[in-house]
Amino acid sequence: MQKKLVFATNNEHKLEEIKAIIGDGYDILSLKEIGCDSDIPETAATLEGNALQKARWIHEQSGCDCFADDTGLEVKALDGEPGVLSARYAQSNGRGDGHDAEANSRLLLERLDGCTDRAARFRTVIALILNGREILAEGIVNGVIATSPRGTDGFGYDPLFIPEGEERTFAEMDASEKNAISHRRRAADELLKVLETSFI
């Protein structure tokens, strides 16, 4: 019988992506599928803290093995900003409301105006609670921030992020190309390794 594992998301795209990577060993369920429609608290100061907070919350509510993710864009010249604030970067600086990707990107470009060191990385942290044990997995993709947005695919900061070894931004790549090298993909690969070894 397949073991159940709840993924603390209702994002269909993330769900399909993770199912494709984890394969048949686990039955991955979304929040909707376990009847959870609450807003899960996400108030920690780090990606690790947020991922753990969400996983613990689901574990307490459902008693199921589960995992949660959190992602941030970390820009070297800005001491790791926007980081854990990536989704609400503009809002947390008194601009725009909620998850406004364009306002976030505008603010980032403004902060980097005239800056020659444009190194950045996307980092995804996955917190897994398996048999009562908490385990963290991480995925990183290094790159640089473009001087202006390019491309129409993807979401969030994709039009500004040029991954290492590429000239195109994530938004100029098609989804399969991006997903093959993305931070989320790398974190999911790490999660799979943990799950495979936990079978032994």
> Interface with ligand IMP by CB under 6 A: which range of 23-31, 57-65, 151-159, 192-200?
151-159
Residue 52 contacts ligand IMP per CB under 6 A: no
User: Closest approach of Cβ 196 to ligand IMP, in Å?
Assistant: 24
Q: How far is CA 125 from CA 83, 119, 138, 147, in A?
A: 12, 20, 5, 27
Residue 155 contacts ligand IMP per CB under 6 A: yes
Beta sheet of 133-145, edge-to-edge order: 26-29, 3-7, 66-75, 119-130, 133-145, 161-163
Residue 157 contacts ligand IMP per CB under 6 A: yes
**Which residues are catalytically annotated?**
70
Residue 140 contacts ligand IMP per CB under 6 A: no
What span, in angstroms and rounded, lies between the C-alpha atoms of 42 and 104?
A: 19
Residue among 44, 190, 66, 60 at smallest CA distance from 130: 66
Residue 143 contacts ligand IMP per CB under 6 A: no
- What string marks each residue from 84 to 123 as x (binds ligand IMP by CB under 6 A) or -? --xx-----------x------------------------
Give 57-92 as a DSSP string: HHHHHH-S-EEEEEEEEEEGGGTT-BGGGGGGHHHH
User: Closest approach of Cβ 27 to ligand IMP, in Å?
Assistant: 22
Nearest residue to ligand IMP by CB is 156
Site residues for ligand IMP per CB under 6 A: 70-73, 86-87, 99, 154-158, 170, 182
